[in-house]
Structure 1
Amino acid sequence: MLRDISAQNLFMGILAAFVGSASSFAVVLQGLSAVGATPDQAASGLMALSIAMGLCSILLSLRTRMPISIAWSTPGAALLATSGAIEGGFPVAVGAFIICAILIIICGIWKPLGRAVAAIPAPLANAMLAGVLLGLCLAPIKAVAFDPLLGLPIVIAWLVVGRINRLFAVPAALLAFIIVMVIGVEFPDNAFSSLSASIIPPVEFVIPQFTFAGLVGIGLPLFIVTMASQNIPGTAVLRANNYDTPPGPLFAVTGVFSLLAAPFGGHAVNLAAIIAALCAGEDAHPDPKKRYWAAAFGGVFYILFGLLAGLVTAFVSLAPSILIEAVAGLALIGAFSGSVVAAFKDETAREAAAVTFLVTAAGLSFFGISGAFWGLLAGMAVYFLSRWPNRK
């Protein structure tokens, strides 16, 4: 096994971990904060997710000898960012994370639930995701309006670098964010001492609370977007690169690691799609049988990033919130455009998809349940009514 290690898969593992972390950690922090996490709890959640997906990547890759990459649920974090604070605060959100993890485990070991998830019309699942992402994707525009001197460099960096290499567009925006922070934001007098104190890895155990609103408003939508937007595409990427493995056990293992991360504030980990393509492609190694080390090395660097989560969160907290939202929004534009195209491609489901998208994007909550659930429910009603036999 050790003979399969090469400088090529080491480099690709570092690149995968860097892109995976830098391109979406802002979305995770924004999502955890939106559902009531304190800065310390958000840092703990970021650390728990990073360590969970690192250990899961190492375990699955070395066990199967396939490049199985794990990521946090970026669409799930975007869902949290638009859900807003729930009654009962962050402990209720953590209870919903645990429910989501249990559902993922069941989905992996009990085929009827997996088939039920697969039976959700793809246009509606994509429309719900598009509605969730819309608000965050508007943040870069709002950031420019808030302060052009701070917002424009972030957007310009994303545009220019994205034309050269799309893979580095969001990391470039993140670098621009750091530069404008250093140059254009006035730090408090105690900023550097607080940053120094944040080097210690944060650990915040949250006692979960379980409520119906948490189950329906966060748990179920988080489960659906994680499965439909991450786990299922992740298996497709593996198959496209000729790695054929039963998806059920992979889902179950990601569910177990999600369950372990949840009490510390982590919302969900899952099979990666974009990062998986990096580790499973020819750039990771000419021999497909030796590419698994790229995913394993990526896991090692995810863990190292997680240990710095407190420092990252403390630095981000010094910025105007709209700037970090702008970075998060730029990271999600690709996912938003892809979900919109997939949602409205099928003419027979277009009206139902539009209803799902609009209700979700409106962000209205009823009975403490977020708009994502109501959007999917409304879209399903329109979808099945449109197929009801019209007998005269």
Structure 2
Amino acid sequence: MSDNINGSRRVFTTEANDILDAWSKLKDEKEKETFISDAEDRTWAEKLKNREHIDKCRKWFCTFEDEHSQQLKAISKQRLWDIYERLELLGYGDDFMWAVDYMELYGIEIVREPEPPTGRGWVKMCPQVTQYLKEAIRPKRLTEEYRAFLQYCLPSLRTAVAAFARLYGNVFPLLASFANLGEIRKHLDPMSKDDIDLKFGSFKPLLPKLLARWERNVAKRLGKYVRDRSWSINIPANVQPGDLVITYTLCCDSCEQFIPSTGVRPAIHDCAPGLERHQRKLSECDDIYVKVLSQLGAQSWHPESYSNLIGYAQSVLVGCNKGDLATVQELDELDPRLSCKICCDSSGLRKIFHWREAVS
């Protein structure tokens, strides 16, 4: 309802119109004032009643939403456990339970379905899940087994990399560490010392093939820098090419930061001052192992990056030559990104520079 008085339109609801009609019928001014006051009280009481109802509805919906969410999580968890049990029947035991990331497995669309898998659903799901296992579990398992590879194969690796260096010059050890250690790792799946020695012996004839592959893939990406420039990178006389390569492949589990200028994971250790979230307790720096820096393939191949990397490695080597005699001040003078506020004490240095025991 509406009216038009003096060019102004007023709109009334049915309830407001009834109140206005009842008020207009009253003749006593006091009754009119009392009527308006009572109407306001009734309106306010109605608003409070509606607000209480809204609050109750909101609480009910939140409770329902939480219960529904918990129910869906329980169903999803039960579905995953059913998948685990079915995979264990296929031979995926402790290795599977240890290596498979819950969120990665849940990322498979067919795994996210709400109900536990039926026999027919499992027939559709099994190929996708097993393919995921082939891609996800083996690299993680090899990371652990690669520590045994360190113990037995570093001398042979040093010999192979030194041979690469003689063929391709001083710049090649850096490239070899990224282009070829990954290939070596594919051929050597360490189980025992005898088995590793046998496999490495059978691997030696493959070196020319790997060199040819490196020429096709890596040198092609280097472009004009390989063809048109003479790379003048000086390596100290007391530094063996193999040691330099191994320097870049050793890093600490606890602090895997990228060197800002290159985007490459650093050698040995990197707890830069100010990066508190990457600083760890001393006991967490025990595991120092080899990592193949395969992600370098997606980074820049500009020669200045390698010059910077060699500068960092030389700083590390100088500090390593002093062993436990190196002090925090001496390390800070070499390069602040190679010092660690927590690890730079005598026991920490022994752990950080543990690689020298492996390559000596």
TM band (smaller chain):
under 0.3
Q: Which has the larger radius of gyration?
A: 2
TM-score normalised by structure 1 residue count: 0.23
Whichever structure has more helix as a proportion of its residues is 1
Relative contact order (C-alpha < 8 Å, sep 6+): which is higher? Answer: 1
